[in-house]
């Protein structure tokens, strides 16, 4: 389906570095006025924060090859409602990342989303502000979503694999991904999005349990807990590898197609 681009969509494509990229199928998008967000942030913990004990032993991080993420038993997390889950994340001390974080980053957005966007981990700004994707990578993500006619504040929830910042923005370790995985799993169960967009290899490792490169997983629709899932490159990677933006754009179009197919 290749449709004519309107002026706004052309401007957005130019903004994300895809000027003249009109050949990519772009679904027509109805323009609706932006509505106020349903619920933007997870509530801050009240007085006592429930803690997740650092009790479950997790294998040490590998030296070289990417390792599949070990799935830990979800335990009490699997029973939590949204509020309890948010408080459990806020009080979590299950791995060493809690020592240096300013704040946990639970996620942000519409609690009845069509889209669930899953990134990697908070960076410096996210750690300070408590909100995912507020830096340069977030700006690119917002622009790409907007080019599809999707507003970050409407029908979108954004979360990360890790809820705490790895020091110096280093890669998440498999043990950290494993400790955080039950939180993300429960977020998906409670949000029941219509489509999941997995950004980058750590989102893929956590959700699909795969260490395959993104290039081999993108371009088709996967499933996570019965929800269609599309894999694409992480925006931070796209900022360093501009030619890959066209592929990411095609992935977003695939995700939108999936969403529309569900609407019938
Ligand atoms: N900010 C986030 O919240 N997540 C990422 O993966 C990158 C930047």
Closest CA to ligand 1's atom 3? 132
- Which residues in the chain land under pLDDT 50? 1-4, 20-24, 29-58, 61
Q: Alpha-carbon distance 25 to 4, whole Å?
A: 9
Q: Alpha-carbon distance 194 to 199, whole Å?
A: 16
Look up residue 22 and give its DSSP letter: T
Residue 51 DSSP SS3: coil
**CB of residue 166 inside a 6 A radius of ligand 1:** no
Nearest to 2 by CA among 26, 19, 31, 21: 26
* pLDDT digit string, tens, across residues 205-258: 999 999 999 999 999 999 999 999 999 999 999 999 999 999 999 999 999 999
Q: How far is the CA of 249 from the centre of ligand 1 (A)?
A: 18
DSSP 57-109: --PPPPSSS--PPP----GGGGG--HHHHHHHHHT--SSGGGGT-SS----EE
The pick from 197, 198, 236 for probing ligand 1's pocket by mutation, whose C-beta has the most ligand atoms within 8 angstroms, reads: 236
**CB of residue 113 inside a 6 A radius of ligand 1:** no
By the 8 A CB rule, do 108 and 40 touch?
yes
Closest CA to ligand 1's atom 8? 133
**Cβ-proximal residues to 39 (8 Å cutoff; 6+ apart), any chain:** 109, 110, 111
Q: How far is the CA of 203 from the centre of ligand 1 (A)?
A: 11
Q: How far is the CA of 133 from the centre of ligand 1 (A)?
A: 5
Q: What is the pLDDT of residue 160?
A: 98
Nearest to 160 by CA among 215, 217, 101, 218: 101
b vs e for 51-87, b when ≥16 Cβ sit within 10 Å of the residue's Cβ? ebeeeeebeeeeeeeebebeebeeeebeebebeebbb
By the 8 A CB rule, do 6 and 236 touch?
no
Taking each helix axis from N to C end, the angle separating 136-147 and 245-263, rounded to the nearest 10 degrees, works out to: 50
Q: Alpha-carbon distance 123 to 254, whole Å?
A: 28
The pick from 104, 118, 137 for probing ligand 1's pocket by mutation, whose C-beta has the most ligand atoms within 8 angstroms, reads: 137
Q: What is the pLDDT of residue 264?
A: 75
Q: What is the pLDDT of residue 258?
A: 97
Tokens 């280093």 -> residue: 170
Instruction: For each of the domains in the chain, give its residue range(s) and CATH number, in order of start.
Output: 7-18+77-263 (3.40.470.10)
Q: Assign 3-state DSSP to the chain and report helix, strand, coil percentages, each to 5.
A: 40, 10, 50
Nearest to 193 by CA among 263, 259, 114, 257: 114
């Amino acid at each position: 389906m290749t449709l004519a681009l309107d002026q706004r969509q052309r401007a957005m494509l130019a903004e994300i570095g895809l000027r003249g990229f009109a050949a990519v199928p772009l679904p027509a998008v109805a323009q609706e006025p932006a509505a106020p967000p349903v619920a933007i942030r997870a509530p801050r913990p009240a007085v006592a924060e429930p803690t997740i004990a650092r009790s479950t032993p997790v294998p040490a991080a590998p030296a070289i090859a990417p390792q599949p993420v070990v799935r830990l038993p979800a335990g009490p997390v699997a029973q939590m409602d949204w509020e309890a889950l948010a408080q459990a994340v806020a009080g979590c001390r299950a791995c060493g990342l809690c020592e240096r974080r300013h704040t946990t980053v639970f996620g942000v957005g519409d609690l009845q989303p069509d889209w669930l966007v899953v990134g990697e981990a908070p960076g410096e700004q996210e750690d300070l502000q408590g909100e995912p994707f507020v830096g340069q990578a977030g700006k690119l993500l917002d622009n790409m979503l907007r080019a599809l006619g999707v507003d970050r504040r409407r029908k979108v929830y954004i979360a990360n694999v890790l809820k705490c910042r790895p020091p110096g923005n280093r890669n998440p370790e498999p043990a950290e991904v494993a400790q955080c995985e039950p939180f993300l799993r429960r977020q998906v169960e409670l949000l029941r999005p219509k489509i999941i967009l997995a950004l980058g290899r750590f989102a893929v490792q956590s959700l699909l349990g795969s260490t395959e490169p993104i290039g081999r997983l993108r371009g088709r629709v996967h499933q996570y807990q019965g929800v269609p899932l599309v894999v694409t490159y992480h925006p931070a990677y796209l900022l360093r590898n501009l030619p890959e933006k066209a592929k990411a754009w095609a992935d977003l179009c695939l995700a939108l197609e999936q969403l529309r197919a569900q609407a019938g």
